[in-house]
Structure 1
């Protein structure tokens, strides 16, 4: 009798071919001429079949399996279901708390699309909706409690402190400007050491008052006036400032003003764009010794009075104005002499300073007489004597003893006084 083979991986248990059908022939195979089964023991020695089942032409028929074969709509690797793009956007906006209303709306739309399309990302959409909802609640609380206004103020302060105003340059910084010009518009600067070559050196910063943007001309005029006033506090020894150095400034633009920028930065720069500055021009309490500082502080009292001369060039055109000016100069000379007498200078400088004080006191008397003159001629007589006694050349010996610059500038009318010399130049930032 024929013994059926045991169940194998391709033939489930209990599904054997009926009697008379060759083994290995699937059920449902249409009848046909099949060779008779081999009788038991009909194999000669060494003649065994190549497998556990008899082989014959019927095995060329395809074997019907209970599973669908590959290549008929089935892939050996599962293709992942795509993630919904709106779900991703909703989660990103929720995490960033940016436009929370939009994040909430995108999350709702994402859930609708996921349900229709069978896509993934439901957790992202729900997470984005939750975070966006929290963001909306916090935004409403900020508005209700005034926190939004405080945030905007802090933002404006940050913009002012972190580059919205003249690139965070502070007094004493040296820098180069891309393009090499300190005039026009600029958006960036490169800080460099002051010991080497540089195009600009910051000597002062100040803030303009709040309010609407006052206009380009007002901003420029404010920068021009105040920067000239502030230069002496940084470069106290004006004789040490080269003649080819002028004042420049960075000012806010209309656009940066809206972001809270109110700062004007005053800068020393060379009048020749092709020439750089070398070394720092700083001469103040951080670099001067006590004797130098005392001398320059006294000299600046006279400088300020000299700089307050009337706009009219000739005395005959405004005698009263010149008389008031002479009074200011006379008072300044009195104060300057008192400051020098009140300071104890080193022995090497004490005698030259004492000689200078005598000249200043003599000059004070002449300027006082010019202030009291009743006519233009009398004014000129005393004015010229007083001006001669305050000639910068008379201070060279004292300056040399103090270790200060000894070459008078080509501009100016007295010891260190600086003529305005016209308008300065600036850049908008």
Structure 2
């Protein structure tokens, strides 16, 4: 399910926007708010830039009861049994509350041990106080590290998440984490929850930026992959949760990811890294494209933006020529740098365009140069992806430039975090 995109085309994974001869793809706005009444204190909210909510599954009642009994250290034997039964029901019915059931079992087990200890020693109270203090300091929220892959117990990247199952990235998985960062201004003077809007905006802005550093080759990103994120909830904030977790996921809730999407300094050789770092210069210029739906809506703004693209192409070709390439790729990369010079001339002409149609013609010509045969030859020599990303408007000169001057919408078809 995809909601209508907000206005203003922007590149999804750092790629260049397609020329506006057809209606551009757009995204990145949306309302990435979690659904449901209220998350448990240790729950975390999924977010995504194009929400398509489904009703939240109910929380298992026995899991709640097990947790309450465990926290109160009251009738630990009953809490333990309720937690075990709750896990079985959650697995069978797809309900929420696995984390509560597990916590109830753990607390009830500790409670039973402490109750036994209390019968034989006077140190039971001190042991229990220490355990409660440690649990409080831990905050109760889960986290997933950069580079880890996981499955969602509900097979969905929507709604609330209470825990995840870490799995190897080589096989199928629901998501791959590419960054973690603290909520900006998390240590505000008032210490209060900044609100859903502020949290979602921070995640939306930073996650897309950080995705480009983790998956540097935008051509290699599958078309059905999008950016998602975990955010704190109002309840988890009270327990010290300030972390936003950014991840890749499949926009099809029934599909999965297979293999890692990571392409950075940890996986690339020196030549590949240098090529993609130069490529990122043009990506950054396309991030500054005017936020209007069509060129004619702001021709002056587009012409000013074209001058920024001219500068980016100059710096990109200079970076390519400055690197000491291996003999197997030197010629191919040199030929591509010459093509970038021709594309720069097209953008210079776009900067001087007399009208929107003239601007678009030069934009189209530049795109076909930067994402053309020379780019593919250079990429093939380097062992990088050779299939330019495409969109529905490809026949109008569109397509995701992947940082080489092509076009795209701001983000893929509809994902949130």
2:270 maps to 1:290: yes
Equivalents in 2 of 1:284, 1:97: separation in Å? 47
Equivalent-residue separation in structure 1 for 2:205 and 2:372 (angstroms): 25
Q: Distance in 2 between matches of 1:421 and 1:155?
A: 39
**Residue 70 (structure 2) aligns with:** none
Q: Is the 8 A contact 2:388 2:401 kept in 1?
A: no
Partner of 1:71: none
CA contact (8 A) 1:247 1:424 kept: no
Q: CA deviation at 1:94?
A: 5.4
1:205 aligns with 2:180: yes
Distance verdict in 2 for CA 1:391–1:407, change over 3 Å: closer
State the Cα distance separating 1:98 from its structure 2 match: 4.3
Residue 176 of structure 1: aligned partner: 151
How many angstroms apart in 1 are the aligned matches of 2:232 and 2:263?
Answer: 28
| Alpha-carbon separation, structure 1, partners of 2:119 and 2:256 | 54
Q: Alpha-carbon deviations, 1:130-185, whole Å to 9, x = none? A: xxxxxxxxxxxxxxxxxxxxx99x976x43xxx62xx2211100111101111111
Q: Is the 8 A contact 1:228 1:420 kept in 2?
A: no
Residue 95 in structure 1 maps to residue 126 in structure 2: yes
Flag structure 1 segments of 5+ consecutive residues without an equivalent. 1-86, 100-150
1:365-391 residue CA offsets vs partner (Å, 9 max, x unmatched): 221232244654554454343333223
Superposed CA deviations along residues 41-72 of structure 1, whole A, max 9, x for unmatched, are: xxxxxxxxxxxxxxxxxxxxxxxxxxxxxxxx
| CA displacement at 1:222 relative to structure 2 | 1.9
2:226–2:411 contact (8 Å) kept in structure 1? no
8 Å Cα contact 2:332-2:374 kept in structure 1: no
Q: Which residue of structure 2 lines up, in the alignment, with residue 190 of structure 1?
A: 165
Partner of 1:225: 205
Change in CA separation of 1:351 and 1:257 when aligned onto 2, cut-off 3 Å: same
Instruction: After superposition, give the CA deviation of every residue in 1:201-257 in whole Å (9 maximum; x if it has no partner).
Output: 001111112232222232122212221111111111122221111111111000111
* Alignment CA distance shift 1:88-1:250 (3 Å): same
The CA RMSD measured in Å over matched residues stands at 2.8
8 Å contact from structure 1 (residues 326, 367) kept in 2: yes
Query: Cα 1:334–1:302, aligned 2, differ >3 Å: closer, same or farther?
Result: same
Scaled by the length of structure 2, the TM-score of the pair is 0.62
Residues 68-217 of structure 1: pairs in structure 2 closer than 5 A: 91=122, 95-96=126-127, 98=129, 158-159=138-139, 164=141, 167-209=142-184, 210=186, 211=188, 212-217=192-197
Q: Taking structure 1 as reference, are residues 357 and 168 closer, same or farther at Cα in structure 2, changes over 3 Å only?
A: same
Q: State the number of aligned residues.
A: 283
CA distance in 2, matches of 1:256, 1:281: 30
Does 2:255 match 1:275? yes
| Higher RCO, Cα 8 Å, sep 6+ | 2
Judge which range, 282-291 or 304-313, deviates more: 304-313
Against the structure 1 CA distance between its residues 393 and 206, is the aligned structure 2 distance closer, same or farther, given a 3 Å change threshold? Answer: farther
Distance in 2 (CA, whole Å) between partners of 1:370 and 1:416 is 18
Distance change in 2, residues 1:394/1:308 (3 Å)? farther
Structure of higher CA gyration radius: 1
In structure 1, the partner of 2:311 is 331
Residue 401 of structure 2: which of 396, 414, 421 is its match? 414
Mapped partners of 1:216, 1:393: distance in 2: 46
Residues in 2 aligned to 1:375 and 1:410: alpha-carbon distance in whole angstroms: 27
Gaps of 5+ in 2: 1-117, 392-398
Normalised TM-score (structure 1): 0.60
Match of 2:376 in 1: 396
User: Hey, what does 2:350 align to over in structure 1?
Assistant: 370
Matched with 2:340 is: 360
The CA distance in 1 between the partners of 2:363 and 2:170, in whole Å, is: 43
The answer to whether the Cα contact below 8 Å between 1:390 and 1:415 also exists between their aligned partners in 2 is no
Cα distance change, pair 94–379 in 1 and its aligned pair in 2 (3 A): closer
